[in-house]
Copies of this chain bind each other. A is one copy, B any other.
Amino acid sequence: MSKFIEISEVGPRDGLQSIKAIMSLEDKKAWVSAEAACGVPEIEVGSFVPAKILPQLADTAELVAHALTIEGLAVAVLVPNLRGAQDAVRSGAHKITIPLSASETHSLANVNRTHEQMLGEVKKIANLIRALPSAARPKFEGGISTAFGCTLEGNVPQERILHLANALMEAGCDEVGLSDTTGYATPNQVRDLVRAVKAEVGDENLTGLHLHNTRGLGLANVVVALDNGITTIDASLGGIGGCPFAPGASGNIVTEDLVFMLDAMGFDTGIDIEKLMDVRKIVERALPGEPLYGFTPDAGLPLGYKR
C-alpha cells in the first residue's frame, strides 16, 4: 500500500484572491466540482472576509453550500477573525483556518491586528466551535503565515514560530500549519522548522504545509517536507495565487506538477492526473487572459507513464 498524501487545492481561495478578475459563482462551482471529480480530497473554496476587501471571494457561503453537496469532499475556508468564523460555522464548512502572520508587521498590514489581538480572536473562535454539538464542529487550524520569512521584516526567528505554534494550540486550535506566504522557504529551512515545530507541539499537530514556488523551490521543499513527516500539501491548479499584501510574493505550487511528482514517487494522492489537467480548461475559459503555470501540462506525461 502506498502512503497517502493529501493535496489540498487552494486555488479558489489563494489563487482567486490574488488576481483582479472576479470569477463567477457558476464557474467556481464548475471548477470545484470538476476537481473533486478527479479525486482531489480537500478544496479551500474561499475566505469569509468583507466583500469590500476581497470582492473576488464575496460568494464564499454559496460556494461552500455547493461544495458540501459533493460526496467525500472536505470543504475548507479561511477566516481572518471571529466574525468570519461565525459565517464559516453557519456555512457548514468542514475546516476553518485562521492565518496568523509570524511577522507582526505583515499581520498589521494584512489584518490590522497584533499577535496578541489575533490570539484573542483564536480563543473566541475555539470557544464558538466548542459550543457546537460535536458532530457539527469544523476542524480548526491555526496557519502560521510568513513562517519562512517576510517581505517586510526579512528573516523570522524560529523561536517566534515555536512560541506562536504553542500559543495557537493553547488558544484552542486542533492543529497548526506553516505557510511560506512569501516564497522564501528553502529545503534546509523546511526540514529544520518542521522538525522543530513537530517537537514543540507534537508530531500529530503539524501535518500540513502551504508552500509557494516564488523562487522555483516549491517541489524541492515538498520532497524535504515529506521526508520529515508532512502529509498534507497545499497547491493551486495552474499555480495561480499568492498574497496581495506581500509584494512580489506569488505563485502557489502547481497542483498538476505536484500530483505528477507524488505519483511518480509512489505516493497515493487519489487524483487522476489526466482528468486534472483537463480542469485547466475550465479555469482558462473562466479567467480569459490570466496566465496559468505548470510544467507537466506543457510537457505532457512521459511516454508509457503509469500511475
Contact = CB atoms under 8 A, between A and B. Distances in A.
A68 interface: no
A152 interface: yes
B216 A219 contact: yes
A202 interface: no
Given A219-B216, A248-B300, A261 B155 contact: no
Given A215-B295, A223-B220, A302 B149 contact: yes
Contact of A254 (B216, B248, B251): B216
Given A154-B302, A214-B299, A303-B151, A188 B294 contact: no
A304 interface: yes
Contacts of A269: none
Given A214-B299, A216-B260, 15 more contacts: A149-B304, A188-B264, A188-B265, A215-B260, A215-B296, A215-B299, A216-B294, A217-B295, A219-B220, A220-B220, A220-B222, A220-B261, A248-B299, A248-B300, A250-B299
Residue picked from A152, A153, A261, A294, most chain B C-beta under 10 Å: A261
A111 to B, nearest CB: 20
Contacts of A141: none
Contacts of A187: 223, 261, 264-265
Contacts of A47: none
A231 interface: no
B216 A302 contact: no
A150 B257 contact: no
A213 interface: yes
A51 to B, nearest CB: 30
A184 interface: yes
B153 A303 contact: yes
A190 to B, nearest CB: 10
